[in-house]
Amino acid sequence: MSTQSELQQTIEDMVDDHRGILAADESHPTIAKRFKAINVESTEENRRVWRSLLLTTPGLGDYISGTILFEETLGQKGEEGTLLPQVAWKQKIVPGIKVDKDTAPLSGAPGDLITRGLDGLGEQLQGYKTQGARFAKWREVYPIARHNPTPLGRQANAEMLARYAAICQELGVVPIVEPEVLMECEHDIGRCAEVTEQVLHAVFHALHQHHVSLEHMILKPNMVLPGKACRRAEPDEVAAATLRVLRRTVPAAVPSINFLSGGQDDEEATANLNSINQLGGNAPWQLSISYGRALQQPALRTWIGKTENSAAAQQALLKRARLNSLARTGEYDPSME
């Protein structure tokens, strides 16, 4: 199969009008923090058990079309001895891989960050493909401050995302492009809209320069939200601001926009997605999810590391996945919680 055919097949398997992506790619420090909150030690075995629980949830493939995995998960097996990427694909959930590494201060742009991990990426992706990964994900982060992100910060981060995406597509791997404007700031929703528009403009300019096929990528942006220190915005306000920015910056050729939850709680993330789809019914892209904590958190609180809670935890995950599927068509209602 040609790389172009591989890319197209993956897009067809992942993009539809009712499913979304489960982000289960937490790094060791992040999952350790999540486990600590429920008094579970972050051992390799506990991580395997948790991610196996997620991927073996009966019926999950009805609402989830892809899952972003952490590197160690590609080689781990479920309780029946099947590799976890294969476990996912049994439910027609396409397995993918997080390839970005840690962030570091960007030289020449105080306050801005840059993500590391591009060196040797092609060779790594070839290995991940043999383990079943069909798409990849790379995240760049943009803290908001009075002078950040700087023009240099926007340009440098966009360049990294575009170089990553081009490498992926050369190997037949669909890139998820994730520019995240962070919520951990004191900005209002207007400032977030301004920065998100600038960021996305820079990203698509860089993607064009690197000849990235927009038809064979997925965008994973933040919603336009006020910082955590500001008042919480209503879903219709979030939807209007988010769609305004997307219509100004994202070409119609992009098949799907899968929002990150970005620190929103599970119900807030679903309500905002619902309003975005209600208001954006004529949008040229699918408007979906690539949620991590906003899908996993209720299941994690139910599981608390105990085997006897596994079935109930899976039902908690399935409920959130189903409610987000309803939000894809604007049919979610808070009374369903």
Distance in angstroms between the alpha carbons of the first and the last residue of the chain: 44
| Strand pairing category for 113-115 and 103-105 | antiparallel
| AA letter at 109 | A
Compute the CA torsion angle 91, 25, 276, 159 (nearest 10 deg). -120
Report the SS3 class of residue 337.
coil
One-letter amino acid of 121: L
Query: Which residue out of 26, 178, 180, 197 is catalytically annotated?
Result: 178
Tokens of 241: 């601001």
Q: Which two tokens stand for residue 109?
A: 């742009």
Instruction: Give every CB contact of residue 282 below 8 A, 6+ residues apart in sequence.
Output: none
Question: How far is it, in rounded angstroms, from Cα 137 to Cα 128?
Answer: 12
184 is catalytic: no
Task: Please state, in angstroms and rounded to a whole number, the distance separating the CA atoms of residues 152 and 161.
Answer: 14
User: One of 6, 159, 220, 268 is an active-site residue; which one?
Assistant: 220
- Residue written as token pair 């952490």: 70
Active site residue 98: no
For 289, the token pair is 């999810």
| Catalytically active residues, by annotation | 178, 220
